[in-house]
Structure 1
Amino acid sequence: MTVVAENLSMDGIGRLLQQRYEQAVEHINLESQARSELNFMQQGPGDIADAGSLASESAQHELVSAALQEQLHRLETALERWHAGTLGACQTCGGQIPLGRLELMPWAVHCVPCQSRADRGR
């Protein structure tokens, strides 16, 4: 669990983003290896129960892979905003997104009030 640091800075957020990005890439690589091993196992002989189990595992790996790709994309976009100096500015009102929110959700693009209004409008 991430603990919100009281003395967090935008540089700290940038380092955190970079760490999380690298971790996401590592998780994607591990997931890719697991899928490759699963695909190899599906090519071997087995009974119907084995095939069903492997198909279920394959579907789970696809879901995990999609979630990891989405996380990587969010972190990549946040890193781009950090490098451009726009990370932390609400895209709706232009106000400052609290550093604690960015630490927990570095891909956040709205301050809490604007995000609340957006969520109510869904």
Structure 2
Amino acid sequence: MATLEGTLDKAQLGVLLKARYDETAEQLRVQSESVRQLRRSGDQGPGDVADAGTMVSDTEQQDLLTAALDDHMRKLTDALARFESGALGTCDSCGQEIPLARMEIMPWSTHCVKCQAAAERWR
């Protein structure tokens, strides 16, 4: 049930997290198939130098997209594990509850805004 502020409660956050996980898993599946098809078409040999350059560029672009989706899946997998253990929404640094509004936007958040800002200042 939504709170008075219009944000999700933790149970709804879990449902949202699972839905995002499923969507990202499907995107990764489709992306992986696209990469396989691209690599298969490259196995037939480029037609000329321009085609070879385009193939390399396309492959690099697809590899970057796959890596980004893999990273997103890792974050969502970690967040699901934290949800199942009851730790989702608790700051790893200070132990305070992370506002649900932040968790709606970035459900893999492991730090509250204050602790995240402090950590980024030290990087």
Q: TM-score, normalised by structure 2?
A: 0.92
| Alpha-carbon distance in structure 1 between the residues aligned to 2:86 and 2:116 | 21
Q: CA deviation at 1:112?
A: 0.8
Q: Match for residue 96 of structure 1? A: 97
Pairing 1:70-81 to 2, within 5 Å after superposition: 70-81=71-82
- Name the counterpart of 2:15: 15
Q: Secondary structure at the match of 1:97?
A: coil
Post-superposition Cα deviations, 1:50-103, rounded to whole Å, max 9, x if no partner, equal: 111011000011111111000000000000000000100000000010000000
Identical-pair percentage: 40
SS of the residue 1:110 aligns to: coil
Is 1:56 matched up with 2:57? yes
| 1:6, distance to aligned residue in structure 2 (A) | 0.8
- Name the amino acid aligned to 1:103: E
2:109 paired residue number: 108
Q: Is the 8 A contact 2:79 2:107 kept in 1?
A: yes
Secondary structure at the residue paired with 2:34? helix
Unmatched segments (≥5 aa) in structure 2: none
Shift of the 7–106 alpha-carbon distance from structure 1 to 2, 3 Å rule, reads closer
Q: Distance in 1 between matches of 2:68 and 2:44?
A: 28
Q: Which amino acid aligns with 1:120?
A: R
- Equivalent residues, number: 118
CA distance, structure 1, for counterparts of residue 7 and residue 119 of structure 2: 29
Runs of 4+ in 1 over 2 A off after TM superposition: none
Q: CA deviation at 1:19?
A: 0.5
Distance in 1 (alpha carbons) for counterparts of 2:109 and 2:27: 22
Given residue 14 of structure 2, which amino acid in structure 1 is its aligned partner?
A: G
Q: Secondary structure at the match of 1:76?
A: helix
